Structure 1
Amino acid sequence: MRGSRGALRGVHVLLGVPAHVPEDLVSSLQELARPEVAERMTTLTAQGTMPGTGLIMRSEKLIEAYGLAALGWRQEIGDPRAIIDTVGRRMADEDWFVTALWQPQYLHDV
């Protein structure tokens, strides 16, 4: 790919939690494995879109690498519009959840 080294500069794939989840409890992927955190999560899934995308493949690797799969965490695939609607609803309800995100993305400002 032409310019592939610089093409992705500043782009990051991550698993995100809403801002209302206390940062002193969840500020890293390792902390998702803490029992007191897992108990508060509405689901042990990270929502993401379209199988085979870089976002999904990277999220699955993160879930596996941080031992979250062994604790029941899984990547959930869904329609992009439905996921955005679900994130909005869950934010309004102040649910504790995880979603696959990339940066830059407008959901970081929600």
Structure 2
Amino acid sequence: MTYPVHFRKKILAKLEQGMTFQEAAAKFELSPTTIQRWKKKLEPKTTHDYKPRKLHDDLILQDVKDYPHDFQYQRAIRLNCSKSGIQKALKRLGIAQKKK
């Protein structure tokens, strides 16, 4: 979880008033490196900049179409990946399967 922007601005304002990075880090219980990073870029990152690497959407969709009642571990064996990879791919595609 990230610190809110108003908190970051408060600490950076203290630096402009003459407080050192070490003093601010000790007072607010932060790492000096964190404060230096905030000085370079105030806004927190909100997204990841990577795409899924191993499982393509069309592979998952075709597997779900071919084997609609299989468990995730069975899909993982077939597609040569982990169960968590299957779980993330299904979630990304909005596929939720309930067992009967």
TM interval, short-chain normalised? under 0.3
| Higher RCO (CA < 8 A, seq sep 6+) | 1
Which structure shows the higher strand fraction? Answer: 1
| Higher gyration radius (CA) | 2
TM-score, with length taken from structure 2: 0.25
TM-score, with length taken from structure 1: 0.23
